[in-house]
Each structure stands twice: as C-alpha cells, then as structure tokens.
C-alpha cells in the first residue's frame, strides 16, 4: 500500500501534504491534552509494532504492495484517529528515509490512506457495531474493513494520478487486502484482548469517552 515517489504528480502530492499538515495540527492538539507518561511509551511500542508489520510486504501488480496496516489498533487503543496520524507520520517517514519504502513526495498520501482513512474507518465501524454485535466482532470487522477501504482508496488515488486503470487496480488491491485484512482483524483482536486482560489501565475504555 506504500506509494513510492514518482507515482503521483507533484501538484497532487501538494494537495495530500495540505491534508497532512491540517491533520498534524489537530493531532498535536489532541496529543497535548491526552498523552501522559503511560501512553507515550505505549504509543512508541505500538509504533514499533506497526513499523514491523508494514515491513512485511507482498508485491501487487501495477507497482505497489500489500501489507497489514494497524490503523484500527492504534485508533482503538487511544480512541482517537489523531493518534493514528502521529504514529503513521513517524513510521512512514522513517520507512521512506531509511528503507525507501514509500516516498517523501507521497508521504501525505500514504498517511491519508493508512493513518487517517484506516484509523477513522476502524474506530467508527467499531463504535457503530459494538452495541449490535459485541465488542470483539466489531473490532474484527473494523480492522478488516479499515484495511480494505484504505487499499481501495489507494487504487482510486493511483487512477486519479494516471498510474494505473481503476477497475484492475480495485480488483488487485481489493483482493489482496481482503485476505490481508483477515490476518489484521485477528491480530487486532488479540492485542486488544491482551491489553484488556493484563494492562487495562492503558486502554481508554469507559462510558465517558464513548465506548
């Protein structure tokens, strides 16, 4: 799902950077009000985990790649898509600079897909389904759907950029990430369950904050 440099015209990259700057502005305001001495180390540990799972890429036709994302996990642990913006900005920047995975010009686009879209889809799917089907099924569906929607968004953006055609792109990205999303759903449920069981103090799970 990492889009490398050269796949998107610079004027489109500039639009995605504007979105990124706005998102970072709200993310830093959230961080100032919500991160404490417990949650900063937790965010760092989760960021390292996200870095690792996103490094396990499988090639997808038309020049991009498929991998797990982790946006739903971050959004659920902190109950905030703003946390995803911070984590994915740092992780994707390091991956681009150190490993050439993704790109600098496409950083805004990659954060949009994996952090903003992935985090929002996962979190709000969970909130919308929790009272209907239960906590863990809604976590699983949110994680699966977040992976799929982020991948489909990437395919649409590549079509707008003129990189590859829409329908083959949607089929390729959607098919791969529908299967990847199953693995992501299982891992997200396992991590949330483990945190609830062993370190519930690290989770923001109470009625006052909408869960």
104-159 per-position pLDDT tens digit: 999 999 999 999 999 999 999 999 999 999 999 999 999 999 999 999 999 999 99
Asked if 106 and 7 count as a contact pair (C-beta separation under 8 A), the reply is yes
Give every CB contact of residue 186 below 8 A, 6+ residues apart in sequence: 140
**Would you say residue 177 has pLDDT above 50?**
yes
Average pLDDT over residues 39-52: 88
Per the model's pLDDT, the better-predicted residue between 120 and 203 turns out to be 120
Q: In this predicted structure, what is the pLDDT of residue 70?
A: 85
Asked if 30 and 125 count as a contact pair (C-beta separation under 8 A), the reply is no
* Distance in angstroms (rounded) separating the CA atoms of residues 152 and 168: 11
- The torsion angles phi and psi of 82, rounded to 5 degrees, stand at -60, -35
Instruction: Give per-residue pLDDT as tens, 64-115.
Output: 556 678 889 999 999 999 999 999 999 999 999 988 888 999 999 999 999 9
Per the model's pLDDT, the better-predicted residue between 13 and 176 turns out to be 13
């Amino acid at each position: 799902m990492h889009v490398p440099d050269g796949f998107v015209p610079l004027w489109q990259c500039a639009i995605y950077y504007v979105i990124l700057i706005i998102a970072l502005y709200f993310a830093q305001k959230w961080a100032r009000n919500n991160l404490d001495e417990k949650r900063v180390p937790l965010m760092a540990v989760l960021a390292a985990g996200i870095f690792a799972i996103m490094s396990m890429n499988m090639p997808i036709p038309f020049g991009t790649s498929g991998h797990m994302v982790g946006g739903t996990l971050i959004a659920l642990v902190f109950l905030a898509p703003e946390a995803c913006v911070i984590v994915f900005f740092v992780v994707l920047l390091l991956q681009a600079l150190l490993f050439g995975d993704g790109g600098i010009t496409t950083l805004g686009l990659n954060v949009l897909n994996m952090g903003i879209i992935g985090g929002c889809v996962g979190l709000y799917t969970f909130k919308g389904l929790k009272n209907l089907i239960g906590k863990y099924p809604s976590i699983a569906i949110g994680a699966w759907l977040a992976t799929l929607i982020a991948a489909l968004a990437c395919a649409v953006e590549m079509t707008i950029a003129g990189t590859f055609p829409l329908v083959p792109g949607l089929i390729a990205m959607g098919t791969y990430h529908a299967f990847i999303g199953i693995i992501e759903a299982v891992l997200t449920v396992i991590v949330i369950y483990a945190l609830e069981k062993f370190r519930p103090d690290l989770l923001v799970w109470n009625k006052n904050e909408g869960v």
